[in-house]
Amino acid sequence: MTLWLWILGACALAYLTKLSGYLVPQRILESPALVRISACMTVGLLASLVMMNAVGDGQRLAFDSRLLALGAAIVALRMRAPFLVVVVAGALAAALGRLAGLP
Amino acid sequence: MTVAGLVRDSPAVRAGLSIAVATGAYGVSFGALGTASGLGVLEVCALSLLTFSGGSQFAFIGVLGGGGSAASAAGASTLLGLRNGVYAMQMNALLRPRGWRRLAAAQVTIDESTATALAQEDPRERARGFWTAGVGIFLLWNLMTLVGALAGDALGDPRRWGLDGAAVAAFCGLLWPRLRGREPWSIAAVCAVVTVACIPLVPPGIPILVAAAVAAAIGGWQLRREQARPTEQVPRR
């Protein structure tokens, strides 16, 4: 029973965290300084997500087939491939790496 | 526009759908690991429906599976979800949802929906990308959680199919169009290095917050530098 309470508590906290961002008034979000900083944060967040998914494994760095996926994605992007092709290239590279016995 | 027309004409919808398939399929892992860590099917599904944030959910069952208390599981889950608050602020500024849409947008504000929206330039495309990825992942993630919780390990590891590679490629594809000019490249490089350096040092989910703070600091510093040199600005008309 207490487990259920903690589950629901964690869910409530997760939702309130998300909702809090939507309760910030527009006039604060519209200030030119914040718009500029927000644009920089966008690039930073996306770059961080790439690395987190490429080499992160909990609180550990793991260099495995996902790096092949990253390489394949960059090659595909440089060849101006459409988004879906980039994603499939990443999946294929990682799957082939694992098939070849890489971690 | 029809659904088929949207898929054909909107790059954001296509990006949202492909990222939804790659990420949603991972629900199987969560369902299987959740029941393996001692939770019931109902509890595992409740986490996917209500928490709906992959990192937080894996942290919750990870702590329980490692013998931790339910309280520390909830703490780890909340810590990992903090970045969603930053995403929500950005989505609030870009999409400005009102009324019930705001409540719904909050629930589907996660890594993938935010990234899909941020990668678009056109405001309508941003909204399409956000909702396609958010709702698409929500549906698939919950369906696959149930499948994983019922089937256990019988389905095998999605990593074998390269789905973790698909996620890496997807985020890379979302970042790519933003890398025009020297400034975004240097911010991306600094944040990538900061993330990798932070991963072993702080709990999962925090490195991305550090990277966001560093990016914000760079932005603030450049803003001050620009304001300090008003003579270099081109006069307006």
At B138-193, the pLDDT tens digits run: 999 999 999 999 987 676 677 888 888 988 998 899 899 889 889 999 999 999 99
Task: Give the N- to C-terminal CA distance of chain A in Å, as an integer.
Answer: 40
Report the number of distinct structural domains present in chain A: 1
Burial of B202 (0-12, 13-18, 19+ CB in 10 A): middle
- Res B1 pLDDT > 70: no
Please report the ipTM that was assigned to this predicted complex.
0.91
- A39 in a structural domain: yes
Kindly determine whether residue B175 and residue A43, on different chains, have CB atoms separated by under 8 Å.
Answer: yes
pLDDT tens track for A33-91: 888 888 898 899 889 989 999 999 888 999 999 999 999 999 999 999 988 899 899 99
pTM score = 0.83
Asked if residue A2 is part of any domain, the answer here is no
pLDDT 10s digits, B47-61: 999 999 988 998 898
DSSP string, B161-187: GTHHHHHHHHHHHHHGGG--SHHHHHH
The A residues from 45 to 84 touching B (CB cutoff 8 Å) are 45-56, 58-61, 65-66, 68-70, 72-74, 76-77, 82-84
Between CA B6 and CA A100 the distance in angstroms is 39
Residue A45 lies in a domain: yes
What would the DSSP string read from start to end of B17-64? HHHHHHHHTTHHHHHHHHHHTT--HHHHHHIIIII--HHHHHHHHHHH
CA A25 to chain centroid: 26
Question: What are the backbone angles phi and psi of residue A61, rounded to the nearest 5°?
Answer: -95, 135
Nearest to B51 among A11, A39, A61 (CB): A11
CB-nearest to A95 from B90, B160, B187 is B160
